[in-house]
Amino acid sequence: MAPSGPITTPLTTLLGIQHPIMLAGMAHTAGGELAAAVSNAGGLGVVGGFQYTPEQLREIISEMKARFKQPNLPFGVDLALPQVGGSARKTNHDYTHGRLNELVDLIIESGACLFVSAVGVPDKEVIDKFHKHGILVMNMVGHPKHAVKALERGVDMLCAQGTEGGGHTGDVANSVLIPAVVDVARRYKPAMLKGQTALVLAAGGIHNGRGLASSLMQGAVGVWVGTRFVACTEAASAQEHKEAVVACDFSETDRTLVLTGRPLRARLNSYLKSWQVRGNAAQELCDKGIVPVEHDFENDRDDIEFPHLMGQVAGAITKIQPAKEIVDEMVAEAVDQLKLANVYLSSKSKL
């Protein structure tokens, strides 16, 4: 059990971490080095397992563990598990390439304390298997109705990500989504939490202590931080990507269907802008089950340039820093903000 930090929430107690800060399991960014750095700093490192084979994921987890300052630090693993077929988006497909069972077994074997599912809710059999081995399950949600579906399926925690966030996001802003999802979560008491109501993490636009403090005030028990950790010394993202975050203006990101067929926020470049001026062309392709960028590759388009994924908060990020500095600064500022909030209470208040 890690020593307590200055902010204790049900999340820190449940996971045995010092600070209520989780690394977002970002594809090709949240690798072994960054996940270890966040766990070493007292948060929870989460490995991004998007599209990796079991062999590749095993190697990343091994690298992370080799970098742990203490051998049994907690960590999580994130996979993208969209629904395929039926009423789902026609562009959805199996990112595990038919090897989900192997990936699940590997995550269990690795000793992860948390499994995170993005862009879809895992089947109940998968959730039950993780629970059987004492592993908590969290689902990413972008709308309160998604929270209901996930909790009915049996997840323990929700991560409410506002539309400001980088990568795949919904339409609802952080400030509206978080309290709404908290209200839903309070109606459920997952068995794994032994009497507690389901927990909610906040995501989307969070990069400093003010974001952490405000998220706690909205009922979240911690934060899921992505873009801030892209511009991080230990991130697996390319140096160009890190520098692009620092250079990005508040108005330079947008959501697009072009890359995956589902809304994904990235920094605009000439390739994405070329699709913007074509009106509904991307949506029309997606409705046919065709991912626009794949369509361009098949038609030998020669100006394809993959954009850098990031949230709107990139506009507030001014430098690349080590993970420990990011975590320490976030916690210190959150403590100051929470103390300030307490000052606002009247001494006559009977809370």
Domain boundaries, the chain: 10-238+317-322
**Structure confidence at residue 2 (pLDDT):** 62
Tokens read off for 310: 């990031």
Q: Which amino acid is at 279?
A: G
**Structure confidence at residue 351 (pLDDT):** 52
Name residues whose C-beta falls within 8 Å of residue 178's C-beta, 6 or more positions apart in sequence.
160, 162, 200, 202, 215, 218, 219, 220
Selected from 3.30.590.10, 3.20.20.70, 3.10.450.50, 3.30.70.100, the CATH number assigned to the domain covering 10-238+317-322 reads: 3.20.20.70
Low-confidence residues in the chain, pLDDT < 70? 1-2, 347-351
Which residue do the tokens 């990011």 mark? 326
How many degrees, rounded to 5, is the angle at CA 178 between CA 349 and CA 29? 125
Distance (Å, rounded) from C-alpha 148 to C-alpha 224? 20
Phi, psi angles (nearest 5°) of residue 37: -65, -40
**Structure confidence at residue 85 (pLDDT):** 77
Measured from the Cβ of residue 344, the count of other Cβ atoms closer than 10 Å reads 7
**Structure confidence at residue 249 (pLDDT):** 98
Element (H, E) at 218: none
Distance (Å, rounded) from C-alpha 293 to C-alpha 281? 12
Distance (Å, rounded) from C-alpha 5 to C-alpha 332? 10
Residues 232-245 have pLDDT tens digits of: 999 999 999 999 99
**Structure confidence at residue 349 (pLDDT):** 56
Residues 97-133 have pLDDT tens digits of: 999 999 999 999 999 999 999 999 999 999 999 999 9
Tokens read off for 20: 């209520």
Buried b (16+ CB within 10 A) or exposed e, 111-136: ebbbbbbbbbbbeeebbebbbeeebb
Can you give the length of the chain in residues? 351
**Structure confidence at residue 209 (pLDDT):** 99
Buried b (16+ CB within 10 A) or exposed e, 172-201: bebbebbbbbbebbeebebebbeeeebbbb
**Structure confidence at residue 350 (pLDDT):** 54
Give the closest residue to 322 by CA, choosing from 33, 16, 67. 33
